[in-house]
Amino acid sequence: MATEVEAWTVVPQQDDWCQTAIKGAFDSGDLGKSYDDDDDLLNEAEVNGNWTPQEKALHEARLKAKAKRRLRRTSSRDSTRESLSEAGGDLAGDPTSPRGKVGTNDRKSRMGKGRGLPKKGGAGGKGVWGAAGMVYEMEEPDVKDPNYDESAQGETVYATVVPELDERELEKAVNPIVHEYFEHGDTKEVQMLLQGLNLGHKKFEVSSLAVSLSLEGKASHRELTSRLLSDMVGKVLSETDMARAFDKMLKDLPDLILDTPEAPQMLGQFIARAIADHVLPMGFLDRYKGKVDCDHARAALDRAAVLLSMKTGMVRLDNVWGVGGGQRPVKHLIKEMNLLLKEYLVSGDVSEAEHCLRDLEVPHFHHELVYEAVVMVLESKGRRPSA
């Protein structure tokens, strides 16, 4: 019992020496390595309450050493910390302090892989010139480059490329041109506008569109269309294109009569006028003999054959669409007004006179009818015409 008392009294005198030894072992890192295998024994002694103060101090030192080793294993900044320790930095203190942190521009992998070298040997990335000694191939100049110099590229050839029109685009482009032509009657302007379009292999459809629009219009519109077809042959269209256009219209007659019931007779007149104006070849009708199954197409061809077989038919076909329209000469319109009044004096039919006046299609020239009627009354020499 006396021996145990002496041991307890000696221990406090050795505290300073033990703490010095623990600190040295803590700094060298050997403390945790020597006692890793005895952790279970110490924990068991703690549970039984048999720990001495020296054992408790050693256990706390071991826990600190273990935490320090774990921190070193998970850190990827050993080299930086060594440089900071050489510069006088205190890495043995708190590792979470700002002085112990590594620079954010460090190229070393955060995953613990690689040697910390720059990517692609310093030749990659944005805004770099590439590796030393690299030879680049000749590149074509880019027009969108801000430093592109057009004058330094040699001779430049400019060409306007007009895309070929499809069927829908062709109809959308030609219809306004034809409607405007019905107002001004200038065939040269129509030719100029058509030459600015890339009609391609569907240019024959210009004729069929013009004829289809005139069938829905007035007689003066059909007369203007016949003149337009005559002026375009050899300039914009050929006789072959015209033949293809009329062949297409003969096939489309079942659809045309839905809007214009008189389409077969009118198309026959167009064919006869076109042959008279040398728009279509003389043998155009012969190719259809005995080969037409559609009744409407047969009626159109028969109408054209009858008009062409009449005596002096070629000359009379100039007025196949009547004598009206604002494009007629003034002397011709005055003559038509006189004939209208004379027929009215003989027949006395007011409705027929009104019908003939409408066929002339010259509302701006109706004042001439009044003038000619007054002159006729004054020159009647006592007779009283029923005007």
The single residue listed with the structure tokens 């700002």 is 98
Confidence at residue 176, expressed as pLDDT on a 0 to 100 scale: 92
Angle at 242 between CA 238 and CA 245, to 5 degrees: 140
Strand partners, 233: 237
Neighbour-count burial of 177, counting CB atoms closer than 10 A to its CB (0-12 exposed, 13-18 middle, 19+ buried): middle
Q: What is the pLDDT along the chain (387 residues), one digit of tens a residue?
A: 444 434 344 444 444 444 554 455 445 544 444 444 455 555 555 545 566 788 788 888 888 888 888 777 766 555 555 554 555 544 444 555 545 455 555 555 566 666 666 666 667 667 777 777 777 777 777 878 888 777 776 676 777 777 888 888 999 999 999 999 988 888 999 999 998 888 888 888 999 999 999 998 888 888 889 999 999 988 888 889 999 999 999 999 999 898 888 899 999 999 999 998 889 988 888 888 778 888 999 999 999 988 888 766 565 677 777 655 556 677 877 887 888 888 888 888 888 888 777 777 777 778 888 888 888 888 876 665 554
CA angle 65, 69, 74 (to 5 degrees): 150
Q: Which CATH architecture has domain 167-319?
A: Alpha Horseshoe (1.25)
| pTM exceeds cut of 0.85 | no
In angstroms, how far is CA 334 from the centroid of its own chain?
57
Cα 273 from Cα 278, distance rounded (Å): 9
Task: Please tell me the class of the 330-378 domain.
Answer: mainly alpha
Gap between the Cα atoms of 269 and 300, Å rounded: 8
Report how far residue 343's alpha carbon sits from residue 55's, in angstroms, rounded to the nearest whole number: 146
Measured CA to CA, the distance from residue 130 to residue 118 in angstroms comes to 13
Query: What DSSP line would sit under 236-276, residue for residue?
Result: TB-HHHHHHHHHHHHHTHHHHHHH-TTHHHHHHHHHHHHHH
Domain ranges (residues) in the chain? 12-71, 167-319, 330-378
pLDDT for 31:
45
Picking from 271, 151, 259, the residue whose alpha carbon sits closest to that of residue 207 is 271
Q: What is the pLDDT of residue 33?
A: 46
**Cα 51 from chain centroid (whole Å):** 87
Residue 336 CA to residue 251 CA, distance in Å, equals: 38
DSSP state at residue 25? H
Q: Extract the tokens encoding 49.
A: 């309450």
Question: Is 233 strand, coil or helix?
Answer: strand
b/e sequence 46-76, b meaning 16+ C-beta within 10 Å: eeeeebeeeeebbbebbeebbeeeeeeeeee
Helix, strand or coil, per DSSP, at residue 67? helix
Q: How far apart, in whole angstroms, are the C-alpha atoms of residue 202 and residue 170? A: 8
What's the pLDDT at 146?
82
Do 167-319 and 330-378 fold alike per CATH?
yes
- pLDDT value of residue 174: 92
Strand partners, 237: 233
| Token pair of 341 as six digits | 């009044």
Q: Distance between CA atoms of 373 and 385, rounded to whole angstroms?
A: 10
